[in-house]
Chain A
Amino acid sequence: DAKTTQPPSMDCAEGRAANLPCNHSTISGNEYVYWYRQIHSQGPQYIIHGLKNNETNEMASLIITEDRKSSTLILPHATLRDTAVYYCIVRAPFSGNTPLVFGKGTRLSVIA
């Protein structure tokens, strides 16, 4: 699976959009971009994933650049409960025993 690079930490004012970047310059053609988050002392929570088109769900939007070498997770109106570590993971579609491998992620602090 391709490696990802994320900033170690970010701050965001409550109510504003949080834009979390991720670089994945070695991504392969069949690899998806997945985003998970982990709130303190909880298990990881799935947020969104995409291949090449932008995706949106009730939690967030995922913007993938045309060359697919980077992406941005957008939380449109961040709340204090969005304070968490956000992980960007690049991998091929789930198959067999291959697990999700977590990097260091970005620690997002939403500030009142």
Chain B
Amino acid sequence: GAVVSQHPSWVICKSGTSVKIECRSLDFQATTMFWYRQFPKQSLMLMATSNEGSKATYEQGVEKDKFLINHASLTLSTLTVTSAHPEDSSFYICSARGRQGSYNEQFFGPGTRLTVL
């Protein structure tokens, strides 16, 4: 089955620093990747959608200059939280969709828990 990995699984950083989260599709080519954010006891909220080689499309209210998304290859997307602040502490989940067939479904990574001190 399709596997999506994320790294790191958790990270703690100081306020003002930048944090990069990697999302990889391990056994399929992900033409589209999605980034979600989840605050405690809330549902997943879509942050942005990216296609390989194109600029990401951000949801309303998500600052594109703060949450930098790069989807440079068909197996890797990165989310960089720039100048992180405590309110950015959240559970970040990536999701990938492949090109065709069974990989046209949407598969989820295990998530990355970010804590900003």
Contacts and interface: CB of A to CB of B under 8 A. Distances in A.
Contacts of B46: 99, 101
Interface string A28-49: 0000000000100111111000
Nearest to A87: B43
B107 A46 contact: yes
Interface in A73-93: 87
B97 interface: yes
A44 B95 CA distance: 9
Given A97-B49, A99-B95, A43 B57 contact: no
The B contact surface, by secondary structure, is: strand
Interface string B61-95: 00000000000000000000000000000010101
The A contact surface, by secondary structure, is: loop
B26 interface: no
Contacts of A99: 34, 46, 49, 95, 106
Contacts of B32: 96-97
Contacts, number: 47
A6 to B, nearest CB: 11
A13 interface: no
B91 A102 contact: no
Contacts of A96: 32
B106 A94 contact: yes
A100 B49 CA distance: 11
Interface of B: 4, 6, 32, 34, 36, 43-46, 49, 51, 57, 91, 93, 95, 97, 104-111, 113
Interface of A: 38, 41-46, 87, 94-97, 99-105
